[in-house]
Amino acid sequence: MTDPTGVRSPKAARTKDRAATAVLAAIVFAIVVMLVVVVGHVVASGAGKLVDLSFLSGKPEQFKAGGGIGPEIFNSFYLLLLTLLISLPISLLAAVFLTQYLPEGPVARVAKTAIETLSSLPSIVVGLFGMLAFVLSAGWGFSILSGALALTMFNLPILVRVIQQALEAVPRTQRDAALALGLTRWEATTMILIPVAMPAIVTGVIISAGRVFGEAAALIYTAGQSAPTLDFLNFDLSSTSCPWNVMRPAETLAVHIWKINSEGVVPDLSAVSAGTAAVLMVCILAFNVIARLVGRALERRMTAA
Amino acid sequence: MSDAGNGVVLSARDVSVSYGTHLALQPSSIDFAAGSVTALIGPSGCGKSTFLRCLNLMNREIRGCTIEGRVIYHGQDVNTPDVDSYALRRQVGMVFQQPNPFPKSIYENVAFAPRRHGMASRSELDALVERSLRAAALWDETKDKLFASAMALSGGQQQRLCIARALALDPDVVIMDEPCSALDPIATFSIEDTISDMASRGICVIIVTHNMEQAARVSDRCAFFLLGELVEQGPTNELFSTPKDNRLEDYLTGRFG
């Protein structure tokens, strides 16, 4: 092949480009296939239970077949809600502080390192710490409160990162515009930056909610492994059958899967496990889809309303 | 008003800017009069935008940036720690290089800041929005879609909305940082008309531009910056026809920049 100008032959470049495209497409395809196989397998094995109302609303059995996961579903959502209630305001303020008030300097570096370290803690370590701190030292026992606090530790660094990125993605010019109109930094942040970042914040929060929802290790030793029967007409907050009582133990879907597989004795153990896994999977997929839809809807409302 | 004679609204006295230890702007002094347009010219990186951002203390928002010297607004030095830079910015409006409307409705873009600063009456706000949009020559195009998103406007319209937004606070100084550099010629002429219009209503307009024709078209006075130094200032026609400093002459004849 002669190339008098010294420029690489376009044909060779084209071949390379095509090869690269093919490799990249194959990798993407492989990832999608993995996801479809995992989700498909889990949902298919639990499909029967997924549409079985008595399974979805019934209480779990200790020894006989036919137990349900009603309390576990409620516990999972209730724990998620409490975790978000605690971790959202903290992480929002932390992210605002780190992006708007102190983006650099020694304090910011320490804070950023702390957040990164916290986010890389194995969740079982968070769980064991939660047992020591909340269950034993604070004396709250295996309770929703202990579980929500452990989940907060697990969720906080993720949320701070997500919100920080969302705020950093807002063009600087928006902040300048607000400040040039005589707004204070706080007003610029709360009235311009956070609303502009809202689609990304909401998307990030819902996706992190999916992770919290499926977390097991951090909860085994904090929220506990028992699911008291819940009576939704009981509003006595000190009773273990009152659903809203934050001091009662609360086994979640993910913990339930772990428990029946490790120490379950019910005869229909594998069916219950598969059904629970399918419910969990569907919920998490729903979180992801909802995150995209809500984010896109907010974005559209903001830019073209 | 406590103007220091011949309508001077704003002056800089030995204003210098440094980022950390780097001196970005050498001490510069200049007066700006009501109803006049002053153009700050010079090649990229010459300090003209840095200087401009001292006039509403925007540089204070940049970490490690310090403004020395006096920025005198109606006879009062505002470059002191006890002056609320947020209050100053309601009097000294600013328009940026890139149109930066908020992702809100056209109406809300204009009404937002006045409402924050205490204007609550709906009818007052309605009148203010109309007045401001008219002043920025945007009313006719937007009066039927005031509640549509500002993001749907063209670049030129967005920039005029940013001018309307600044005018809604009834400033007596408006500073503009290359307001037309992202716009096409037609939108540029329309902004230039608005600039002349603002000056004729008594507003002191200060505009940074790298476009010499634009400086010649819109400004009464000109200040030439080079390498962080205010080299020469004076009436625009004098500066352009008989520059005193060789560096300005070189710049005008296109030898650099």
CATH code at position B80: 3.40.50.300
Whether residue B3 lies inside any domain: the answer is no
Residue A8 confidence class, pLDDT cut points 50, 70, 90: low
Domain that holds residue A267: 47-304
B220's tokens: 């009464």
The closest CB to that of A173, out of B96, B104, B165, belongs to: B96
A214-245 pLDDT tens trace: 999 999 999 988 888 888 888 888 888 888 88
Please enumerate in sequence order all residues whose Cβ is within 8 A of that of B103, keeping only pairs 6 or more positions apart, or say none: A195, A196, A302, A303, B149, B150, B151
Amino acid, res. B237: N
Residues B89, A191: C-beta atoms closer than 8 Å? no
B146-173 pLDDT tens trace: 999 999 999 999 999 999 999 999 999 9
Residues of chain B with C-beta less than 8 angstroms from the C-beta of A188: none
Residues B102, A196: C-beta atoms closer than 8 Å? yes
Separation of alpha carbons B90 and B75, rounded Å: 17
Residues A305, B105: C-beta atoms closer than 8 Å? yes
Residues B112, A184: C-beta atoms closer than 8 Å? no
Report the residue of chain B nearest A186, measured CA to CA: B86
Please enumerate in sequence order all residues whose Cβ is within 8 A of that of B224, keeping only pairs 6 or more positions apart, or say none: B41, B42, B230, B231, B232, B233, B239, B243, B245, B247, B248, B251
Separation of alpha carbons A240 and A230, rounded Å: 8
The percentage of residues in chain A with a pLDDT greater than 90, rounded to a whole number, is 60
Separation of alpha carbons A187 and A182, rounded Å: 10
Please give the pLDDT value at position B3. Answer: 39
Please give the pLDDT value at position A6. Answer: 63
Is pLDDT of A305 > 80? no
Work out how many domains chain A is built from and give that number: 1
pTM (predicted TM-score): 0.83
Whether residue B257 lies inside any domain: the answer is no
- Comparing A86-95, A242-251, B129-138, the range with the smallest average pLDDT is A242-251
Residues A304, B117: C-beta atoms closer than 8 Å? no
Is pLDDT of A291 > 90? no
CA distances (Å), origin B223, targets A296, B56, B89, B159, B226:
48, 18, 23, 24, 10
CA distances (Å), origin B182, targets A70, A224, B93, B153:
59, 60, 20, 14
Report the residue of chain B nearest A196, measured CA to CA: B103
CA distances (Å), origin A230, targets A58, A74, A245:
10, 9, 10
Whether residue A18 lies inside any domain: the answer is no
Mutate: best of A101, A102, A181, partner B, most B CBs <10 A: A181
Tell me how many degrees the CA angle B152-B156-B157 measures, rounded to the nearest 5: 50
Signed CA dihedral, A180, A183, A187, A192: sign only: negative
Is pLDDT of A1 > 70? no
Residues of chain B with C-beta less than 8 angstroms from the C-beta of A185: 61
User: How far is Cα of residue B74 from the mean position of the Cα atoms in its chain?
Assistant: 17
Where would I find the beta strands (DSSP E) of chain A? none
Whether residue B22 lies inside any domain: the answer is yes
How many residues belong to chain A?
A: 305
The closest CB to that of B113, out of A176, A182, A185, belongs to: A182
Is pLDDT of A181 > 90? yes
Neighbouring C-alpha atoms within 13 Å toward the C-beta of B251: 25
Is pLDDT of A154 > 60? yes
Separation of alpha carbons A111 and A96, rounded Å: 13
Residue A7 confidence class, pLDDT cut points 50, 70, 90: low
Please give the pLDDT value at position A90. Answer: 95
Residue B244 C-alpha, separation from nearest chain A C-alpha, in angstroms: 35
The 8-class DSSP code of residue A51 comes to: T
Residues B86, A184: C-beta atoms closer than 8 Å? yes
Residue A10 confidence class, pLDDT cut points 50, 70, 90: confident
Please give the pLDDT value at position B30. Answer: 95
Secondary structure of A114-163 in HEC code, one letter for each residue: HHHHHHHCCHHHHHHHHHHHHHHHCCCCCCHHHHHHHHHHHHHHHHHHHH
Secondary structure of chain B in HEC code, one letter for each residue: CCCCCCCEEEEEEEEEEEECCEEEEEEEEEEEECCCEEEEECCCCCCHHHHHCCCCCHHHHCCCEEEEEEEEECCEECCCCCCCHHHHHHHEEEECCCCCCCCCEHHHHHHHHHHHCCCCCHHHHHHHHHHHHHHCCCHHHHCCCCCCEHHHCCHHHHHHHHHHHHHCCCCCEEEEECCCCCCCHHHHHHHHHHHHHHHHCCCEEEEECCCHHHHHHHCCEEEEEECCEEEEEEEHHHHHHCCCCHHHHHHHCCCCC
Interface confidence (ipTM) of the complex: 0.91
Calculate mean pLDDT across residues A80-88.
95
End-to-end CA gap in chain A: 59
The closest CB to that of B117, out of A173, A182, A195, belongs to: A182
Please give the pLDDT value at position A101. Answer: 86
A180's tokens: 């040039």
The continuous run of DSSP H or E covering A8 comes out as: none
Please give the pLDDT value at position A9. Answer: 64
Separation of alpha carbons A229 and B36, rounded Å: 79
Q: Sheet with B8-19: list strands edge to edge.
A: B22-33, B8-19, B65-73, B76-77
Phi-psi region of B202 (alpha: psi -120 to 50; beta: other; left: phi over 0): left
Residues of chain A with C-beta less than 8 angstroms from the C-beta of B86: 179, 182-184
Is pLDDT of A263 > 90? no
Residues of chain A with C-beta less than 8 angstroms from the C-beta of B96: 173, 176-177, 180
The CATH number that applies at residue A84 is: 1.10.3720.10
Amino acid, res. A159: L
Whether residue A23 lies inside any domain: the answer is no
Domain that holds residue B232: 8-252
Neighbouring C-alpha atoms within 13 Å toward the C-beta of B36: 17
Whether residue B1 lies inside any domain: the answer is no
8 A C-beta contact, residue A262 and residue A217: no
Whether residue A191 lies inside any domain: the answer is yes
Separation of alpha carbons A184 and A189, rounded Å: 8
pLDDT averaged over chain A? 90
Pairing status of strand B22-33 against strand B37-41? unpaired
The closest CB to that of A177, out of B102, B117, B169, belongs to: B102
Is pLDDT of B24 > 60? yes
Residues A303, B149: C-beta atoms closer than 8 Å? yes
A111-142 pLDDT tens trace: 889 998 988 999 999 999 999 999 999 999 99
Whether residue A80 lies inside any domain: the answer is yes
Residue A51 confidence class, pLDDT cut points 50, 70, 90: confident
Whether residue B157 lies inside any domain: the answer is yes
Residue B4 confidence class, pLDDT cut points 50, 70, 90: very low
Radius of gyration of chain A (CA): 24
Q: Could you give phi then psi for residue A89, rounded to 5 degrees?
A: -60, -40
The closest CB to that of A104, out of B63, B104, B166, belongs to: B63
Between A237 and A196, the more confident residue is A196
Calculate mean pLDDT across residues B41-62.
90
Whether residue B66 lies inside any domain: the answer is yes
Residues of chain A with C-beta less than 8 angstroms from the C-beta of B98: 173
Radius of gyration of chain B (CA): 18
Is pLDDT of B2 > 60? no
pLDDT averaged over chain B? 91
The percentage of residues in chain B with a pLDDT greater than 90, rounded to a whole number, is 80
Residues B94, A182: C-beta atoms closer than 8 Å? no
Residues of A with CB under 8 A from a CB of B: 103-104, 171, 173-174, 176-185, 187, 191-192, 195-196, 302-305
Is pLDDT of A12 > 70? yes
Separation of alpha carbons B34 and B204, rounded Å: 4
Separation of alpha carbons B177 and B48, rounded Å: 9
Calculate mean pLDDT across residues B65-74.
93
Work out how many domains chain B is built from and give that number: 1
Please give the pLDDT value at position B138. Answer: 94
Whether residue B33 lies inside any domain: the answer is yes
Residues of chain B with C-beta less than 8 angstroms from the C-beta of A171: 100
The closest CB to that of B169, out of A103, A173, A181, belongs to: A181
Q: How many CB atoms lie within 10 A of CB B176?
A: 28
Please give the pLDDT value at position B257. Answer: 56
